Chains A and B, each alone.
Chain A
């Protein structure tokens, strides 16, 4: 057996050097290469036998992972002295390899036993006390159904739910296959238990009620509770209907509360809102694009609602565009269509602009950059209009704010220096070109980190 053959298809074994070294340290200096090779195979084989024995103990203890104690048991079984005191820490061997000069530069291993500073040990915070075995009981299932409590896992897997939301027919046929025809249960559409009914009532009341403290709790509950699957459709219905009604009545506060509820539902990791997007998106879009959201549009801060809703909208697009094909395109198309229809008021254009800008860098580059020119023209036209209302004036200010907030950073990351004012005028029109030019040049001088576009801070809405 030559070494080249060895390399071709090596038998997995310990390195020869270590066996040789062990032999040396046991006063067997003059072993031939063949004997070392033989010894190596033998040792490897014995270790493998031990591992096979250790596997018996692992399996007996109903584990899927072997631990060092199993190996110890296996050694005991073969009347070998178990190795005591070595534990794998983080899966690494607790040895350190160094070379000793005195031993002809042989590798020497020692236990990695690092020194501790005494005062550090003394001043260190006390470690957690190891806990004794304790038993906890819960209902895993009640009459065939698993209650949605924190002790139970999420019953429906995400994959199942996604397929379910995308192709309801598929899961339906699958279920048919599972059940014998005679065994199909009588349909029992989402009957809520009394507790759930009370919960629903309490939550909805608290969310749109007058007490901020209670609202905070309710919103918190909505965003963390795991057992909301059953009442999710009702809450979604509550939101969408609520938006419809309150839009008509220009009830800004309620709309804001409803948007916060939506946000809480999105935050809840155990809920999957894919099924209800057809209800949630119209509600959110209405809050972004509505002509009027409050009784006194010139005084009330309906801008905050528009901003908040658009950031929620962007968040939802980000969350679900992976599973739902073309979602992003559809939303963007709505915004653009709104933007291009001249007869709509400027506030709606503002909403569309914010909605687009919230979508992120890519959307801004591809879609917002080209429309700034028309926007500028439109603003110039309306400013020249003598019958410019106070409302439109603030809207124009707001639009300018949004432009200067989102466009310069996006421009800065997408285009490289040098900036040319003519180029700006050409791209963004005469109204916004020079403005943006100054803003961009200003920003380029500042360090990058401070100029990152900030999200609409949620504190404005609370």
Chain B
């Protein structure tokens, strides 16, 4: 589509052609009018045949929704077809009516008039008046024709005032279109080399405080990008425009009534042909079931670069259940159940804890093995994927025993966090690391801390007093007796002498630290495997490295990404890991192969963070278009492109952290827009949005029993939310689904404030002690921080 002749695209003038506009304009969308005369909106009769055809086509397609077959109109089809018809109509019309059009209507009439008056004046020899009249006319004429942006202004103003006229209950539905219309108009103006007018256009609307607060609030980040696009060439280069214009259509969800009204306005009235063109070229309207959503819900769901998410994109089945048949899950789950029951037993106090746990432990061991035998009797979760859907390595025997033992110990002493029994928080402040430390990672058992630095080095610290263990040299390993029961302990070096000397230094909590060198750029992501054998790191140098935490050396370098790698994470069962990068892909790897297993591409958007689903069948990613996507690890059918199984839009700025709930059903996301959004994976809908933080949210963790959500933010606070209660309320239908935004008071349990440390990592230990990690920010930065955009 091209916009070069806005005047020519509006040959239909309701004033000059009243009969036409009354009888022939209601072509689109109303099947009851099938009998009415169906000439399309072009006044020239030469094109009548053509128009009839196209409108009939439209009629057929449009009649589908009313027949009740589908709930969503495939307006793509409509639009493209009507586009074709419109443009073809135009071309014919342009060709045929060319001689008339050059002097037609708005331009022609004043010109004729002008000539007439001029003649009269000249005849009467009024030279002075002739001069003045000429000037006057010139100025008038120039003003109206030279300003290319005039139709843009009138069209958008017209639409905004149209939106204002709508009743309060549905106004927000219409206002959804303002932002994308504005952007497309601006880009058009720039592309037509009207940079200055484009700037005026931009300023006029962006500085409008009313619009700022409502329509543009969700798109601040993109507006900043748009502002810098001032020439055609910049637009051609811009990634943003690529993802905005060419990555799909802007998706808008409306209720049926609004859609009809909008159709009336855009297609039938044709007051602003420019609007119609843009809507037809770039928009996709979807009918929402039932009545209009309330403004709040819509405001929450807006913010994606391309509007909302197609409903049909989220219809595929997702198996969000846990892998109950896998040993690891069973160990985790079983203990979680047990701990809650012991928690109920031990309500009297801590003193009773010891005897009952030992009793329980015996019982538990018995239970556990009983359960293993009666595997078949377990209830099958319909939402859980098959164990073999994604091949997952079984636990080794010694590993399983280790796990059972350690988890027994820890889970039996796990604190149950309730509103009356809030978690204690131990805080690790990293000093002298501001601007140097990029990322942190803590091991599952909370004993190791890995720190990724800007200068490409990785430090690993031991958080308990135990020394970091190292495996013996191969020559020494050969000499070991492999049948020995304690073979694994003997494989490690144990320098008891060193231990003794260091024990004197009691104040030094960092008993030991290790440096891992190998990357050649800042480290952006770290992930430790559950058994503390491996550490993954990703860096700006496009590589991911796998480090052994036993030999303290780099094992493999994974190459494949072509841009800085932003995040990497181990799967919950180890073996697999996923990475995402600025090269607009997320990749799935396995530590046994150097090649990529899967590549998930995301058109035009960088992928910034990711998170593994607890059943290791899915990964969730967040990309720079602020849309969360969940991808399936299972290979798609031959030749098909990997498509996300779920998409969720609602964040207004970049997402910093994603987490799945412990039962795998909910995805929690938070980021720079200060919202904590909770999504239901079963259908991709928003459960609720928690507000409370006053700055970007950087870190998040769920307690081991999954009932408490904890978030750390740049506003120097940690907030603790009653996630379990929220989900319970949601299941009971008590959650105010109309409102969606939950004020912090309702589910927030407590706020812990830190002193100038923004928490970049939060972690619950197995006993539900909260650990916070953050880099201390020197105070002299406070002034600059306050002035950030």
- Residues of A that sit less than 8 Å from B by CB: 1, 5-6, 9, 11, 13, 38, 41-42, 44-46, 48-49, 52, 56-57, 59-65, 67, 69, 73, 76-77, 91, 130-146, 151-153, 155, 177-178, 183, 185
Q: Are B745 and A73 in contact (CB under 8 A)?
A: no
Asked whether A52 lies within 8 Å of B225 as measured between CB atoms, the reply is: yes
Q: State whether A146 and B753 are in contact (beta carbons under 8 Å apart), knowing that A69-B454, A140-B427 are contacts in the complex.
A: yes
- Please state if A45 and B230 are interface contacts (CB–CB under 8 Å): yes
- Provided the pairs A62-B698, A133-B432, A140-B426 are in contact, do residues A49 and B540 lie with their beta carbons within 8 angstroms? no
Residues of B contacting A: mostly: mixed
Q: Does B422 contact A (CB under 8 A)?
A: yes
Do the beta carbons of A59 and B654 come within 8 Å of each other?
yes
Q: Ordered nearest first, which 3 A-B pairs have the shortest CB separation?
A: A144-B422, A48-B228, A140-B427
Q: 19 A-B contacts, Cβ less than 8 Å apart? A: A1-B195, A9-B199, A45-B230, A52-B224, A52-B228, A59-B608, A60-B524, A64-B788, A73-B522, A133-B431, A133-B432, A134-B431, A137-B509, A140-B425, A140-B718, A140-B772, A151-B755, A153-B753, A153-B755
Query: Are A65 and B781 interface neighbours, CB within 8 A?
Result: yes
* B-chain residues with CB within 8 Å of residue A77 when the two chains form the complex: 563-564, 582
Given contacts A44-B230, A133-B431, A141-B425, 8 further A-B contacts (CB under 8 A): A60-B438, A134-B432, A137-B428, A143-B422, A143-B424, A144-B422, A152-B753, A185-B420
Q: What per-residue 1/0 map shows which CB atoms of B746-785 lie under 8 Å from chain A? A: 0001101111101010000000001010000000010011
For residue B671, give the distance in angstroms from its CB to the closest CB of chain A: 8
A45 close to B430 (CB less than 8 A): no
Interchain CA distance A126-B522 in the complex, whole Å: 31
Residues from chain A with a CB closer than 8 A to the CB of B437 are 133
- A134 and B775 CA atoms in complex are apart in Å by 10
**Interface presence of B606 (CB below 8 A):** yes
Are B231's CB and A45's CB within 8 A? yes
Q: Say how far A462's CB is from chain B's closest CB, in angstroms.
A: 34
A131 to B564, CA, bound (A): 29
Are A62's CB and B760's CB within 8 A? yes
Nearest opposing residue in chain A for B755, CB measure: A153
**Interface window among B232-240, B253-261, B393-401:** B232-240
CA distance A437 to B420 in the complex (A): 72
Is B695 interfacial (CB-CB < 8 Å)? yes
Query: Is B421 among interface residues, defined by CB-CB distance under 8 A?
Result: yes
Residue in B203, B420, B745 whose CB lies within 8 Å of A9: B203
B421 touches A143 (CB 8 A): yes
Chain B residues with CB below 8 A from A1, complex form: 195-196
Please name the residue on chain B nearest to A175 by beta carbon.
Answer: B745
**Chain A positions within 8 Å of B421 at CB level:** 143-144
**A367 CB to closest chain B CB, in angstroms?**
42
Shortest CB-to-CB span from A61 to chain B, Å, is 5
Bound-complex Cα distance A402 to B703 (A): 68
Which of B451, B521, B524, B654 makes the CB contact (< 8 A) with A61? B524
With beta carbons under 8 angstroms apart, the residue of A64, A69, A91 that contacts B522 is: A69
Q: Does B721 contact A (CB under 8 A)?
A: no
How many Å lie between the Cα of A83 and that of B433 in the bound state? 24
A170 to chain B, nearest CB (A): 15
Whether A133 contacts B451 by the Cβ 8 Å rule is yes
**A292 → chain B closest CB, angstroms:** 49
Q: Could you say which of A11, A13, A145, A183 has the most chain B C-beta atoms within 10 Å of its C-beta?
A: A11
Tell me whether B618 is interfacial, beta carbon within 8 Å: no
Q: Determine the distance from Cα of A48 to Cα of B228 in the docked complex, in whole angstroms.
A: 6
Q: Is the CB of B752 within 8 A of A146?
A: yes
Please name all residues of chain A whose beta carbon is closer than 8 Å to the beta carbon of B114 when the two chains form the complex. Answer: none
Kindly supply a per-residue 1/0 record for chain B positions 116-159, scoring 1 wherever the CB is within 8 Å of any chain A CB and 0 otherwise: 00000000000000000000000000000000000000000000
A177 touches B745 (CB 8 A): yes
Q: A61-B438, A139-B426, A140-B718 are in contact. Are A45 and B234 (CB under 8 A)?
A: yes
Across the interface, do A9 and B196 meet the contact criterion of CB distance under 8 Å? yes
Q: Which residues of B contact A132 (CB under 8 A)?
A: 432
Q: Mark B494-526, 1 if CB is under 8 A from A, else 0.
A: 000000000000000110000000000110100
Q: A48-B228, A65-B788 are in contact. Are A41 and B195 (CB under 8 A)?
A: yes
Instruction: Name the distance in Å between B728's Cβ and chain A's nearest Cβ.
Output: 14
Cβ of B423 under 8 Å from chain A: yes
Contact B200 A9 (CB under 8 A): yes
Q: Find out whether the CB atom of A131 lies under 8 angstroms from the CB atom of B427.
A: no
Cα of A153 to Cα of B753 in the assembled complex, Å: 7
Interface pair A137/B427, CB less than 8 Å apart: yes
CA distance A446 to B34 in the complex (A): 105
Q: Chain B's nearest CB lies how many Å from the CB of A247?
A: 42
Are B582 and A56 within 8 A (Cβ)?
yes
Complex alpha-carbon distance, A134 and B437, angstroms? 11
Contact flags B672-713 to A (C-beta < 8 A → 1, else 0): 100000000000000000000001101000000000000000
CB within 8 A of B228: which of A5, A45, A142? A45
- Known contacts A38-B231, A45-B234, A133-B437; is A151 also within 8 Å of B424 by CB? no
Residues of A within 8 A of B196 (CB): 1, 5-6, 9, 11
Q: How far is the CA of A6 from the CA of B430 in the complex (A)?
A: 50
B460 to chain A, nearest CB (A): 12
> From residue A88, how far is it (CB to closest CB) to chain B in Å?
11
Residue among A61, A77, A155, A183 facing the most chain B CB atoms (10 A cut-off): A61
A319 CA / B237 CA spacing, docked (Å): 60
A28 to B506, CA, bound (A): 69
Q: Does B15 contact A (CB under 8 A)?
A: no
Q: How far is the CA of A170 from the CA of B85 in the complex (A)?
A: 66
- Identify the closest chain A residue to B203 (Cβ): A9
Contact status B540-A73, CB under 8 Å: yes
Contact among A67, A145, A177 for B435, CB-based, below 8 A: A67
Q: Is the CB of A136 within 8 A of B428?
A: yes
**Known contacts A139-B424, A143-B421, A178 near B745 by CB under 8 Å:** yes
Kindly state the separation between the CA atoms of A5 and B199 in the bound complex, as whole angstroms: 11
Given the complex of chains A and B, what is the CA–CA distance between A142 and B509 in angstroms?
20
Shortest B664–chain A CB gap in Å is 26
Partner of A49, one of B238, B425, B566: B238
Question: In whole angstroms, what is the CA distance A315 to B71 when docked?
Answer: 74
Closest to B654 in A: A59
Contact of B564 among A42, A73, A141, A185 (CB under 8 A): A73
Q: Which residues of A contact B284 (CB under 8 A)?
A: none
CA separation between A177 and B419, bound complex, in Å? Answer: 16
